[in-house]
Amino acid sequence: GKTVDCKNTIVIMTSNLGARDNENNNIGFAQSLEKTGSEDRALKDFFRPEFRNRIDAVCKFSKLDTLAIKKIVVKFIDELKASLTSKNISITLAETVIDHLVEVGYDPRMGARPLSRKIDELIRVPLSRKILFEDLHDCSVRVLRLGDEIQFIVEDLSRAEAKIDEKGYIVLEQFKPKS
C-alpha cells in the first residue's frame, strides 16, 4: 500500500533470453559460439512492445574468459572457507585443482552455473564426509590433484610447533599429517 517515486531509479534486469537459440548455433566441430541476433528476436518475442519501448538499453554479455571463470571458482571456495571457520578448518586448493574445476565445471552455453554443482561434487561433499566421519576440526586441508584424482591432505593445526627465528618472526614447523 505504499507509493514509491521511481523517477531517479535505475532498474537492472537479467535474463537468458536467446540462450536456447545460441545453443543451436553451435553445430559441428570446432565452431565457436557466436551471437547471431537471436537475442533481439527473443526479446521481441518475449516482451510486449509497450514494455520494450520503456527499456533504455540492453547489454549483451559475451562468454566468460578463463580468468573470470577462475575468479568465480575462487569466490565459491571463499564461501566454503567461510562456512568452515566455525570448526577452525582452513582449506587451500592447488592451482591444478582450480584449473580442473574450470575445465569440468564451465559450459559456454550454460555459463558458470554448473561450476557450483561441480564444486559441490568434487570438493564440498567429499570434504563434508571427511569432517563428519573423521571428526575434523582445528586443521588445515590442502586439496591436490594427482592424475585424475582429487586428494585431501589434512594437517593438524594443534600439533604444529611455533618457533621464533633469528629475525624475531614466528615460524610454524612443518605440519604433521593428522592420523
Percent of the chain scoring above 70 in pLDDT? 78
- Rounded to an integer, what distance in angstroms lies between the CA atom of residue 144 and that of residue 93? 7
pLDDT in tens, 79-127: 999 999 988 899 999 999 999 999 999 887 777 888 999 999 999 999 9
Whether 178 has a pLDDT exceeding 60, the answer reads: no
State phi, psi for 49 to the nearest 5 degrees: -60, -35
Give the list of residues 6+ apart from residue 141 with CB closer than 8 angstroms, or none.
Answer: 89, 90, 91, 92, 127, 130, 152, 153, 154, 155
More confident residue, 156 or 4: 4
Residue 54 in grid coordinates: 520503456
pLDDT of residue 20: 63
More confident residue, 156 or 3: 3
Query: Which pLDDT value is given to residue 159?
Result: 59
Which 3 state secondary structure label does DSSP give 177? Answer: strand
Taking residues 74-81, report their average pLDDT.
Answer: 94
Q: Above 60 in pLDDT, residue 175? A: no
What digits encode the pLDDT tens for the residues 100-110? 999 999 887 77
Residue 15 pLDDT more than 70? yes
Q: Is residue 32's pLDDT more than 70?
A: no
- Mean pLDDT over the full length of the chain: 81
Q: Determine the pLDDT at residue 26.
A: 46
Return the biggest CA–CA distance within the chain.
Answer: 75
Task: Look at residue 172 and tell me whether its pLDDT is greater than 90.
Answer: no
Grid coordinates belonging to 176:
604433521
